[in-house]
Chains A and B, each alone.
Chain A
């Protein structure tokens, strides 16, 4: 295996200029590499191969493991993983994913992570995403969207900077996310069936939150939940780093939001209004809002976007206030 010898015997030609030190194989060696007709791809530096593998769909990256012995574990070095599988449960998510210690970006969308036992072959540990995340100490960006049948995921990711989450809020706990900040959270609970204080806990665990996009179009708010939501929003308000909030909401949430915005020190730059119609049933709520509005709202609100205005009474009320 001349190629192997080349790699092992390779010395680096260092150019020392000032305080900088640059290394690259010497020309002669490069040509030696070229003179071996085999495997030009393997002559590339590991980080180049890693970057290349990251440009591939996971499936193709994993398939490189049988190219040759040298390639067996190369795909393990990938730092960016996107899984978007259809919910048919036919793929076994490889346990070797757990060895991706260098994972920085993880995106799981609509994965079926724990197929019911009656389906052919239970292959995926229900603890899969949780253990994957806790085995990825470098994880910086995490996307979890509508993960089916997932057990509670506790996120212990000291480097995590951004999180996009859609699904059941009570399935996720943020344990150790001190850096979660920039671009932080796109939060789209398809349905909140949170136990008491779950929402509050959720936001309490994001001390560095700077940006929040909260979409809750299908929010089915019961009274209890509205109260809880309000307490969560109050908590968001007390996030001292929060600069930017976009909220797309319907009905009750709308009301809660105003209660929050009213009070300084929270000063949102942006506030995204309901993009669809307000439920007429909530008009009562909205009618009450002007009474509880203080001038502070307008003092702190810097930008308002109104989308999909259909001229309902609550909407007109809001516009009037502005």
Chain B
């Protein structure tokens, strides 16, 4: 499972090992991993084996994929990164929520922004009914209570059509 294929040519580059909650180890260049603030701080304290007890192998693999791609970011490949990001956020809600929890825990700001925007895009301009359905949010207001809250912010609920679709 360890992705150490590049270690032979990295020579003097400092390598770090990330260990997932499933016990799998991933060896990566420090320059890639320090995008993650949580790990960066640990590296600064001299750690080279980083146990991530809250990130499973599946999620960690995705996060490494993200960090590797974004470590390559230059002025000239902006479009490529953009397309990568677009593909990256495709996936089930469960996967996305796992990712966003992990990105939050690991403090990877770019990934957090990407995932939050992606979740927001699924809410944007949707009707309340659609949002409840998409995210399985159960409405615990009584009809009277709901009406009252709706009245508080009437301006937000009026005018314009809201999207009822569930994608």
B128 near A63 (CB under 8 angstroms)? yes
Do residues A63 and B157 form an inter-chain contact, with CB atoms below 8 A? Answer: yes
The contact sample of 28 A-B pairs, CB cut-off 8 A, is: A13-B53, A25-B54, A27-B54, A30-B101, A40-B93, A40-B135, A44-B101, A44-B104, A47-B104, A48-B101, A48-B116, A56-B120, A56-B124, A58-B156, A60-B124, A60-B126, A62-B156, A63-B128, A65-B152, A66-B128, A66-B157, A68-B132, A68-B137, A68-B141, A69-B140, A69-B145, A72-B149, A92-B155
- Contact (Cβ within 8 A) B123 A56: yes
Interface positions of A from 77 to 114, Cβ below 8 Å from B: 90-94, 96
B83 within 8 A of A: no
B-side interface mostly:
helix
Residues 35-73 of B, flagged 1 when their CB comes within 8 A of A and 0 if not, give 000100110010100010110100000000000000000
CA distance A12 to B56 in the complex (A): 17
Interchain Cβ contacts within 8 Å, total number: 136
| Residues 113-131 of B at the A interface (beta carbon under 8 Å) | 113, 116-117, 119-121, 123-126, 128, 131
Is the pair B94, A66 in contact by a Cβ cutoff of 8 Å?
Answer: no
Given known contacts A51-B112, A60-B123, A66 and B136 CB-to-CB distance under 8 angstroms: no
Structural contact, B139 and A51, CB atoms closer than 8 A: no
B3 at the A/B interface (Cβ < 8 Å)? Answer: no
CB distance from A113 to the nearest CB of B (A): 14
Assess whether A57 is interfacial by the CB under 8 Å rule.
Answer: yes
Question: Is A320 close to B, CB under 8 A?
Answer: no
User: In whole angstroms, how far apart are the Cα atoms of A60 and B120 in the complex?
Assistant: 9
- A94 and B137 contact, Cβ closer than 8 Å, known pairs A22-B38, A24-B54, A34-B94: no
Which residues of chain B come closer than 8 Å to A240, judged between CB atoms? none
Residues in A whose Cβ lies below 8 Å from that of B165: none
- Kindly state whether residue A41 has any CB partner on chain B within 8 Å: yes
User: Given A55-B116, A57-B124, A45–B138 Cβ distance below 8 Å?
Assistant: no
The answer to whether the Cβ of B21 comes within 8 Å of any Cβ in the partner chain is: yes
- Given contacts A43-B97, A47-B104, are A94 and B42 in contact (CB under 8 A)? no
Contacts of B126 in A (CB 8 A): 60
Seed contacts A1-B140, A52-B116, A62-B153; 6 additional CB < 8 Å A-B pairs: A18-B47, A24-B54, A27-B21, A44-B100, A54-B116, A65-B153
- Give chain A residues whose Cβ lies under 8 Å from the Cβ of B132: 67-68
Interchain CA distance A54-B112 in the complex, whole Å: 12
* Distance in angstroms between the alpha carbons of A94 and B158 in the assembled complex: 13
Q: 8 tightest CB-CB pairs across the interface, nearest first?
A: A55-B120, A62-B156, A91-B155, A41-B135, A24-B54, A51-B116, A52-B116, A18-B45
Task: For B155, list chain A residues within 8 Å (CB).
Answer: 59, 90-94
- Interface set of A (CB-CB < 8 Å, partner B): 1, 13, 15, 17-20, 22, 24-27, 30, 34, 37-45, 47-48, 51-60, 62-72, 90-94, 96
What residues of A have a CB within 8 angstroms of the CB of B14 in the complex?
Answer: none
Evaluate contact between A40 and B124: CB separation under 8 angstroms.
no
- Given A48-B112, A60-B125, A66-B149, A41 contacting B119 (CB threshold 8 A): yes
The verdict on B105 contacting chain A, using a C-beta distance below 8 Å, is yes
Known interface pairs A38-B136, A45-B104. Does A52 touch B120 (Cβ–Cβ under 8 Å)? yes
**Pair B105/A48 contact, Cβ less than 8 Å:** no
> Please, which residues of chain B bring their CB within 8 A of the CB of A34?
94
Which of A13, A19, A53, A59 is the one whose CB lies under 8 Å from B120? Answer: A53
CA A45 to CA B106, docked complex, whole Å:
13
The residue of chain B having its C-beta at the shortest distance from the C-beta of A55 within the complex is B120
Residue of A with least CB distance to B54: A24
CA distance A67 to B140 in the complex (A): 8
* Chain A residues within an 8 Å CB radius of B117: 55
CA–CA, A140 to B136, complex, Å?
Answer: 36
- Interchain CA distance A27-B53 in the complex, whole Å: 8
**Nearest neighbor of A47 in chain B, beta-carbon distance:** B104
- Residue on A with the closest CB to B50? A17
Report B-chain residues with C-beta under 8 Å of the C-beta of A17. 42, 45, 47
Mask, B78-92, CB within 8 Å of A = 1, is 000000000000000
Please, which residues of chain B bring their CB within 8 A of the CB of A52? Answer: 116, 119-120, 123
Supposing A20-B41, A55-B120 touch, asked if A94 and B140 sit within 8 A by C-beta, the answer is no
Collect the chain A residues with CB atoms within 8 Å of residue B157's CB: 63, 66
A39-B138 contact, Cβ under 8 Å, with A27-B56, A62-B156: yes
Smallest beta-carbon distance A19→chain B, Å: 7
**Contact between A66 and B97, CB atoms less than 8 A apart:** no
